[in-house]
Structure 1
């Protein structure tokens, strides 16, 4: 017969079990060894969308058939508890819930003879956690497949994530970097730059972009473009940093080469301009003397010369005059890069009007029709732009078709609000569009001197003026169908020098 103290202990255990059964946040069920419910707690019943009273006496696997029965059988047979995590289950009476996931434990309770008397079935619904873990896993897989580097760190710079792109770019496997400081991939002389120019702006703004010099595992130095963002916890507080990096070393090398070539080109152009200026200047005085003395010879002695001698002397004078025009054009060309600039607001409509006044005699002689559309105001060198307009309008008048009245249209349009496209359109003789590349070369002529005068420097001067203003000039044409010169100029001048 049990003692009073033994009875009291059983009563105490019963109370403790009742309290635990009632207040635990886990789903709890007591089953007999045939898997019939003895009782369930409120949490279990609520998870099944049932009342507690619906369970006692009913078989678990008749209510909820599943392949877990084999596990239950094994626990009863071996008397060894079983635990599983994120096990999927679909409620047969609630298929609309879809697949749910559960952490659960099955513990056998033995009687005095060591036989299984009942089973304690404890479950926790981890569906949301499982979905979150799956989402994180999927994101991790995506990040791992990104070709470029994705690295995450804590707020102190210790590495917490390292994808395959980072392995490829920096040479370190993920296991070699985790928990190490990000300075691992930077040369020592870049530590201060990293802290002041990368980390500090990131912490201040929440995101930051920079170009940085990094160090490969092999010791090779290379450049990356780095896009950084702060990671935040559920309260919005910074919890870490994530950086997306691409290898830009080839681009940086190309940029350095381009800068070197540009510097060499600028030096060569400067030397060429200086040479052209000096050569033209040195030739100008001797040519002036040739013209002067040739003129004197013609005035004083042409009447005493025979026809052949007069023809030779006339050819000398005309050749000298052409040479003087060449020299003057060469000087104009060389001085574009050398003379001081006066940048000011320029009304292109007003400038076009002034140019037409300069060309008034030629316009009247040819009967040309000039139509000026809406033209903008820009900041530029007024003197050079006037020369540009004069050269292009002069060309339109010069290269007109025989028997046709020259018609010239001058108009403009804005390009993205930052530059202007100005078109000089004529109905002249045109040219083969395949020759556009040669059109702006110094001394290049597409038509013979016998038909059209000039030195071939006019369009070269136009291009140099447009280049100085950081613009572009090109042409569209076909023989007999006129030409359109298209000049693009920035709205606000920005000097390259």
Structure 2
């Protein structure tokens, strides 16, 4: 291709409609055509020798560097800005070393003060009215721009911020303001953390303390051109609210775990979503092992919990019930459950249950009921006792009075032949009265004498009672068999008296010509010990099953055959009842008499 002469090249250069600027390798302008002078508003002769960089907008460095057309932001002499489609052609010498660069610029859009495309100053103004702190750092981590809020967030350090300051230098300035010792391991770690946070630049927020007790939310986002946009927001007020909520939640959790009540939360499908440690301990599992499981896994048979839950409505969302259950360690406890259904409108959200251990209260109630029953029983017994004592004591006293009067009458009439007979009867009735009084005193002394009940082995009690009855056993030839007996809770001396009276009755009320036989056997029925005394004696008509335990009541009046005062069984019953037990006659037994004593098992 033939070379163009110099005249032709100058014509192309001077008359080219696009701005043409030739620059040296260092960036100085070697020449500019008329179109360039017109476009930039400078005298073409004054442009020669000046650097090319002031023609570029300072916020956008020169990025033209190849033969491809690219859009570049330029600045005119009057300050207006425009974008120009720019092609840069490098001219090389024979050694392939760049000698000059030819820039051909075609204006795309001119910007002036009324243009609707905001200038950098307009952008700066807009940024300064934004409450959030915003800064832009270049790919070398140096500050390009920041708004007023960004500076204000960091107090005195923010005022010292300068364009071009690196992130590391900024962190160092903040460190000194925080009062940390420069060069310490803590200070190095703090600076490293700030720089790492900046470099992460994934747009994810992170909150950290700064500036003497305040809290900052930091978000860093890497843009496509390699810059990093940093957004900083003071969230101290929000953090304080969050901390207060956390404190309240902690207080609530502490309260829930320290109060003596059982607390659970249950979803509408009856799955535990929360249980406190008190409830978990009662179940015998950890809270984690219970949460997520159905409450039906832990209710006892016939527990009405589900029916109670289903019966709760927005109009009546709460109810209470008492429940007796066995804890994980086998102890029977009484619970007062308050059940609450939480609704959102008419939609069931969850159930909340609060259980209070009322075992001691129930025990007190039961003790009061037992005491009331015992008091009523004692009042009734006192009435019977008073009536019986009045009747049985008056009989010998009337007889004593009668014989005394007869003796007095005979002496007055000098009829002395019957006086010895009357005197004998008088002595007999006096002895009988003394026996009744002694038995009555014995009955009164023994009643309710238990001071400190303890574990008692009934085998030892029976052996002691048999020892006291050894003469009666030998005289009657009685055959007594003692089988295995359970231990009980009570007073060994009183129980020995009870067994002695029952065994003595079996020996006394024997059949004529028949060797008395008695078997003493026992067994445990739950929390009650049962002791049976079947004998082969004369037996007792079942219609007298209750009467025989009344004081001074005797079915056999002939004391020459069956001596006694009628206090033995009364005393046995009183001892049994003072232990919280009973003694009854088995009405079905036909081969003699069979008494059954019930006592609290050990």
Pairwise TM-score range, normalised by the shorter structure: 0.3 to 0.5
Q: Which has the larger radius of gyration?
A: 2
Pick the structure with more helix per residue.
1
TM-score normalised over the length of structure 2: 0.36
TM-score normalised over the length of structure 1: 0.43
